[in-house]
């Protein structure tokens, strides 16, 4: 039987592609918080997520101190990667360049710039996560 598990290089390359991520964060006395997010990732680096400080996501992440993010393909063959790890920073806004890099992964050129101009504020937070545990599946592997 063949394995559908991706190699380290395959899973990091997949995560660095443009996918909507689904953030999962543990919450006491409730189901885990699971919400879609835009993110940035480069192989071997940190997972970066920009959000509003004080939001439900931000509060849950600060309390838990760690999170998981899953990215999946929307077309066949089905693939997904989950990265889990500790939050290593979430107390400062992203730089304009960091915000543009995240937004322009999802919105082309001027649209990404307009989004950043309207959304980036002193209340913004850049969450930085060091992926430590991985799950992956590539149904295209035979």
- Between 3.40.50.2300, 3.40.718.10, 2.30.110.10, 3.20.20.10, what CATH number should domain 8-92+124-138 receive? 2.30.110.10
Domain locations along the chain = 8-92+124-138
**Closest to 19 measured CA to CA, from 119, 117, 136:** 136
Residue that wins the pLDDT comparison between 2 and 35:
35
Mean pLDDT of 57-73: 97
**Closest to 22 measured CA to CA, from 3, 47, 1, 42:** 47
What does the pLDDT look like over 90-129, one tens digit per residue?
A: 989 999 999 999 999 999 989 999 999 999 999 999 999 9
C-alpha distance across the termini of the chain, in Å: 9
43 phi and psi angles, rounded to 5 deg: -50, 130
**Closest to 8 measured CA to CA, from 102, 138, 105, 127:** 138
Q: pLDDT averaged over the chain?
A: 95
Instruction: Give 110's DSSP letter.
Output: H
Instruction: Give 65's DSSP letter.
Output: S
Residue 44 has a pLDDT of 96
Neighbours of 23 (CB within 10 A): 23
β-pair type (47-52, 124-129): antiparallel
Please check the confidence at residue 18 and state whether its pLDDT lies above 80: yes
CB distance 81 to 6 below 8 Å: yes
């Amino acid at each position: 039987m063949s394995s559908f598990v991706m190699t380290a290089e395959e899973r990091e390359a997949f995560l660095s592609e443009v996918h909507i991520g689904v953030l999962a964060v543990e919450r006491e006395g409730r189901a885990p918080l699971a919400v879609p997010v835009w993110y940035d990732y480069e192989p071997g680096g940190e997972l970066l997520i920009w959000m509003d400080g004080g939001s439900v996501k931000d509060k849950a992440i600060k309390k838990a101190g760690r999170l998981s993010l899953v990215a999946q393909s929307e077309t066949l063959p089905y693939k997904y990667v989950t990265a889990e790890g500790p939050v290593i920073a979430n107390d400062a806004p992203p730089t304009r360049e960091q915000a543009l890099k995240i937004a322009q992964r999802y919105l082309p050129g001027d649209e990404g710039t307009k989004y950043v101009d309207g959304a980036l504020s002193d209340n913004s937070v850049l969450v930085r996560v060091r992926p430590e545990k991985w799950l992956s599946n590539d149904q295209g592997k035979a």
